[in-house]
Amino acid sequence: MLSQAENELLTRVEGNAPMGQMFRRYWLPMVLSEEIEPDGAPAAIRVLGQELVAFRDTQGRVGVLNAGCPHRLSSLVLGRNEECGIRCVYHGWKFDVDGNCMDMPTEPDDRGFKDRLKAVAYPTREAGGMVWAYLGPRELEPPFPAFPWTAYPSNQVGVAKSGYRSNYLQAIEGAIDSAHSWYLHSGSSRDWDKRFEVSSDASPRLEAEDTPYGFRYAAIRVPNVDPETTKYARVTIFNVPSSSTIPPPLDPNLPAHTSIFVPMDDENTMLFDVYHSQNGTPVDPLALRRRLKVEPGVDLDEDGFFRGGRKNRWNQDRAAMKTGSYTGIAGFQNQDTAAVDSMGAISDRTQEHLGQSDVAIIRMRRRMAEAVKMFQAGRTPPGLDGSTDYSSIRSAQGVIPKDMPWQRILDLATTSR
Ligand code: FES
Ligand SMILES: [Fe+2]
């Protein structure tokens, strides 16, 4: 449970809200690389309450600019993408990926206005099948968070992108909530049978510890075999401000999974769900999206949100619930979205009742509150000072001796690939 003021501090991201300003200090995914082709249609992005445009120029370079044309703010999302720049359709002013004005056909060219004017353009990177941008002050640009999978061959990473009609914080809470998968996703995970073979304990004991980049926690269960001498630990990583890496599937041929939540505004969130190979097995993004039922244009609408929603109860099938489906909701991600969006656009955390299984959620809120207070005090928020080695960040699971610290599983995982 949080006070109303704490809830506001943690959830509000638009305008000058401190949390939104803190998010700007981190590199954030904007669009999938595949969504923008050279000289193709620009992509409209809404992030932290701001409208941006992403485009790929004739030479393949990527630009992320404020959507409003610097002339009179007509949207560059409508722009013509041609000859190494984006041209506003209103009066034809044209900008390159760095925001330089290339052409200003409605102005006499002897005034130097073209050379002085710049569109607001942000630093970009492409990694893990995504275009990332840094939206904060230039002089504070941090190192790029080089998660291990950002260095994998492109056929070993697949991203499923889908939107939540709710605030980012409650979406993250779903990603670090080990207890829910036993219920909400029962029968939906390909790893489910294997996991159940290891342990049928539905009430894990949670242990969390802070790290410089956020925190990590273990969900510790009683294993089915050797319960006297061993324990089954699943370790999840949380990176401030909004990504989590859950334990990889026990089957090494199935990809591991990192979720990055990007607040679009106070009441909408875009999830970039990154599936990365554990052992070099290729990840087929289309097959992945079909299996997860997050296929653009099929399961998702033109804005990347599920076609279901509150008005049709997220396509819940009551008849299926009588014949084996636990939720009656098809698709792993749609189950999460239904549970999270049904809380309301911004969950009223003054009304909740947290239990033992919510240890990680409590820790995440505390770390985020600490982070935003560090930011407000002029200190560097977690994970940005260059001391965090993102390439070593992994999660893990396994059965280990009862007296072994669960952190040891991570040491073993770090050397496994
Ligand atoms: S508003 Fe874009 S050129 Fe005039
Ligand atoms: Fe889930």
Lookup: tokens for 234? 């699943």
Distance CA 242, CA 316 (A): 28
Which portions of the chain are predicted below pLDDT 50? 415
Check whether the bond before 241 is cis (ω within 30° of 0). Answer: yes
163 three-class SS = strand
How far away, in angstroms, is 64 Cα from ligand 1 center? Answer: 17
How far away, in angstroms, is 90 Cα from ligand 1 center? Answer: 5
Considering the domain 27-140, what is its CATH architecture? 3-layer Sandwich (2.102)
Assess if CATH 3.90.380.10 describes domain 148-414.
yes
Contact of 240 with 383, CB cutoff 8 Å: yes
How far away, in angstroms, is 113 Cα from ligand 1 center? Answer: 14
Distance CA 122, CA 249 (A): 36
Distances (CA, A) of 135 to 12, 52, 132, 358: 17, 10, 10, 32
User: What phi and psi values does residue 122 have, to the nearest 5 degrees?
Assistant: -110, 150
Question: Which of 66, 71, 80 for a ligand 1 pocket mutation test, highest count of atoms within 8 Å of Cβ?
Answer: 71
Q: Cβ < 6 Å from ligand 1: which residues?
A: 69, 71-72, 74, 88, 90-91, 93
- Calculate the dihedral angle through the C-alpha atoms of 209, 18, 137, 126, rounding to the nearest 10 degrees: 60
Lookup: tokens for 358? 């919510």
Contact of 118 with 99, CB cutoff 8 Å: yes
H helices present in 227-273, as ranges: none
CA–chain centroid gap for 52, Å, is 18
pLDDT for residue 46: 98
Considering every ligand atom shown, identify the ligand nearest to the alpha carbon of residue 172 and give its number: 2
Distances (CA, A) of 349 to 170, 298, 343, 345: 10, 34, 10, 12
pLDDT for residue 182: 79
pTM of the model: 0.96
pLDDT digits (tens, 9 = 90+) for 148-201: 999 999 999 999 999 999 999 999 999 999 888 878 988 766 666 677 788 888
- Lookup result for tokens 């036993």: 182
pLDDT for residue 340: 98
Cβ-count burial of 293 within 10 angstroms (0-12 exposed, 13-18 middle, 19+ buried)? Answer: buried
Nearest CA to ligand 1 atom 3: 91
Sign of CA dihedral 255, 170, 342, 326: positive
**Which strands sit side by side in the sheet containing 101-103, from one edge to the other?**
80-82, 85-87, 94-95, 101-103
Lookup: tokens for 8? 């506001």
For the chain, domain boundaries: 27-140, 148-414
Distance CA 2, CA 9 (A): 10
Considering every ligand atom shown, identify the ligand nearest to the alpha carbon of residue 69 and give its number: 1
Specify the ligand 1 atom closest to the Cα of 74. Answer: 1
CA-nearest of 147, 208, 142, 151 to 389 is 147
Distance CA 315, CA 343 (A): 17
Q: DSSP assignment, residue 217?
A: E
